Structure 1
Amino acid sequence: MARDNFAASLEAVLKHEGGYADHPSDPGGATNMGITRKTLADWRRIVPWTSLPKSAVKALTKGEAGQIYKARYWDAVRGDALPAGLDLAVFDFAVNSGPDRAIRMLQAIAGVAVDGAIGPISLRAIERIGATAAINELCSQRLAFLQRLSTWPVFGKGWGRRVADVRALALQLAAGKPTEQPRPVPVPKSPPDKPAPQASRGAIIFILLAAALAAAFFFVSR
């Protein structure tokens, strides 16, 4: 099971959700890090939700967003109980289209009763088909669902890229492969200090002779 994958999965989700936006074609309205104004108002128990100003959405912190994602999405799909990789695929789908839809689609793929609640029967069925097969089928069906939406012409390019990215990362996690980390930026070494210029051997001899002659002249002139 993937009990330590929430933090990594959250980072993957936030990468696609981005910052504050208020797109007129987005039914969620004002959104920040994927958290809509209505979701934030519900989380803070503000009624009616429209009384929450958009400025509150814009000021949402990453810490509070993470708490909402954990309670309302990750825990809702039982992310801690799902196999590595599949947890990310289901979680991201839940964030994008709702936990209930993500769970029901996963249950249909697993061939169990579609009741919107992941329990022992669902988990055993998922284990039988394997994480890799479940990830591929879930992502394919998710993409097909999105393509049927009336807003696909507006958001389709971004959605398609998101599903492809999630599929690739989820399959990496399922295979136990380390996810790609940013390459370190090579830092050039500081040039070595230049040595102080050294006098040549000839110059040293000349200086010594000059000093000796000066001393001899001093004694003679006395």
Structure 2
Amino acid sequence: MNFDQAFDRLINHEGGYSDDPKDPGNWTGGKCGAGVLKGTKYGIAANTYGHLDIKNLTLEQAKAIYREDFWDIAGQAHPAVKFQLFDAAVNHGHANAIRILQRAVKVADDGAWGKVSQAALDAMDYQDVLLRFLGHRLKFWASLQKFDTYGRGWTNRGAENLLLAAEDN
């Protein structure tokens, strides 16, 4: 799987422009009512990219951000695992995505990818990593305070990623 293939998959999970005031990611301050309500488009959110004109962001601009900021956040991994990590990094942020992968490979989940994490990943069958990663990701979503509001969408994303993992298997 290369970046273009992963992006084509991932962008199906990300919607167009949204300025839901109940979503903290839509605010430049990262909390509802904090900063400016700039919204989210193609998964690029105001809380992280407050300097951008989110409403007028193009798909090509979003793709460039994904390549630079989200594609290679950990060491070497099977392409199926790499896609899942990429999707999680966009959805949850780098550190949370790495923590989820670290839980999947049974090492301390400090959010920093290093030699110990990579060795644990290399020692496991990628299919086991995929299942464990997706399981831990579902648990992560369920632990979030906004699950009652956004959980249906997150669960659908998780289900689609399970189906993609089966294709990649």
Q: TM-score, normalised by structure 2?
A: 0.83
The corresponding residue for 1:192 is: none
Aligned-residue RMSD, C-alpha: 1.8
Match of 1:36 among 25, 38, 45: 45
| Cα shift at 1:133 | 0.9
| Cα shift at 1:123 | 2.4
The corresponding residue for 1:90 is: 85
Show CA shifts across 1:117-149 (max 9, x none).
Answer: 323432232122111111111111111121122
1:142 aligns with 2:151: no
Q: Name which one, 1 or 2, has greater alpha-carbon Rg.
A: 1
The corresponding residue for 2:59 is: 62
Show CA shifts across 1:93-130 (max 9, x none).
Answer: 11111110111221132133434232343223212211
SS at match of 1:74: coil
1:97 & 1:33 partners in 2: Cα distance?
A: 14
Match of 1:132 among 107, 110, 127: 127
1:7 aligns with 2:4: yes
The corresponding residue for 2:21 is: 24
Aligned length in residues? 157
| Cα shift at 1:89 | 1.0
What is the percentage of aligned positions where both structures have the same residue? 35
Change (3 A) 1:117 1:149: closer
1:158 aligns with 2:153: yes
Q: Is the 8 A contact 2:103 2:133 kept in 1?
A: no
Structure 2 unpaired stretches of 5+? 27-38
Change (3 A) 1:127 1:172: farther
Change (3 A) 1:113 1:154: closer
